Chains A and B, each alone.
Chain A
Amino acid sequence: GNSVTQMEGPVTLSEEAFLTINCTYTATGYPSLFWYVQYPGEGLQLLLKATKADDKGSNKGFEATYRKETTSFHLEKGSVQVSDSAVYFCALRGSARQLTFGSGTQLTVLP
């Protein structure tokens, strides 16, 4: 079946540092890939997505590239801000209709 493996957290960075959160997946066929962000006390919000190999999703300075050869969708940001502190979830949607989520990575950015 489908599965998503995320980098273990928590991750703590200083403001303006470079961020990478690793995500790899297992799926049959050609899934769509997503990153969601959850701020404290809120629901998950779609951050970015990619629907086919080599697509790059981007939003709010975050980027992730769909790498089919390495089955990866790593999240990156060049310069994080305190306001980026949240939990980040990698997810895929394959032939089944539901999203399969990773376990989430807690990010804390210190001023």
Chain B
Amino acid sequence: DAGVIQSPRHEVTEMGQEVTLRCKPISGHDYLFWYRQTMMRGLELLIYFNNNVPIDDSGMPEDRFSAKMPNASFSTLKIQPSEPRDSAVYFCASSFAVLGGYTFGSGTRLTVV
């Protein structure tokens, strides 16, 4: 199994531009999570899906952030418009069943200048 695959690994963009981060979960996993990691705030859960349905998006910082999961093998996190304070590492993770551990992707390091 290739694990959770995220793309791109690194993204540098200018303030105001749209950014799309992508995630392919492990086949058969029914939960997908998006986290943001910064030095100041640590790991923050942004949103998670169960069977492609968004369950809790209370961690999404504001309306500039949106996430979709059109099918069981693909999810996107979009920021529009991006701002310098969005600079962080964004992780996607997936899991099987309610009490399982997560498998994390390698993350996308986003820099907004």
Contact call B42/A97, Cβ cutoff below 8 A: no
Q: Which single member of B42, B50, B103 contacts A101 (CB below 8 Å)?
A: B42
Q: Which single member of A32, A41, A89, A97 contacts B55 (CB below 8 Å)?
A: A97
Chain B: interface size category: 20 to 34
Contact call B48/A97, Cβ cutoff below 8 A: yes
Interface residue stretch chosen among B64-72, B75-83, B94-102? B94-102
Task: Give B106's nearest chain A residue, CB to CB.
Answer: A43
Contacts of B50 in A (CB 8 A): 97
Task: Give A101's nearest chain B residue, CB to CB.
Answer: B43
Contacts of A46 in B (CB 8 A): 101-103
Which chain A residues in 32-78 approach chain B with CB under 8 Å? 32, 34, 36, 41-46, 49, 51
Q: Once bound together, how far apart are the Cα atoms of A83 and B4, in whole Å?
A: 24
Q: Which single member of A36, A41, A89, A93 contacts B99 (CB below 8 Å)?
A: A93
How many chain A residues touch B (CB < 8 A): the figure is 20
Instruction: Add 8 more A-B contacts to A32-B101, A46-B102, A97-B55 (CB < 8 A).
Output: A36-B104, A43-B93, A46-B103, A51-B99, A93-B101, A97-B31, A99-B45, A103-B42
Which DSSP category, helix, strand, loop or mixed, fits chain A's interface? strand
Q: Once bound together, how far apart are the Cα atoms of A91 and B8, in whole Å?
A: 27
Contact call B104/A32, Cβ cutoff below 8 A: no
A97-B50, A98-B45, A104-B42 given; A43·B99 CB < 8 A? no
17 contacts between A and B (CB under 8 A): A41-B106, A42-B106, A42-B107, A43-B4, A43-B107, A44-B93, A46-B103, A89-B43, A96-B56, A97-B98, A98-B33, A98-B56, A99-B102, A101-B42, A101-B43, A103-B42, A104-B43
Contact call A49/B43, Cβ cutoff below 8 A: no
Of the listed residues B4, B42, B56, B99, the one surrounded by the most CB atoms of chain A closer than 10 A to its CB is B99
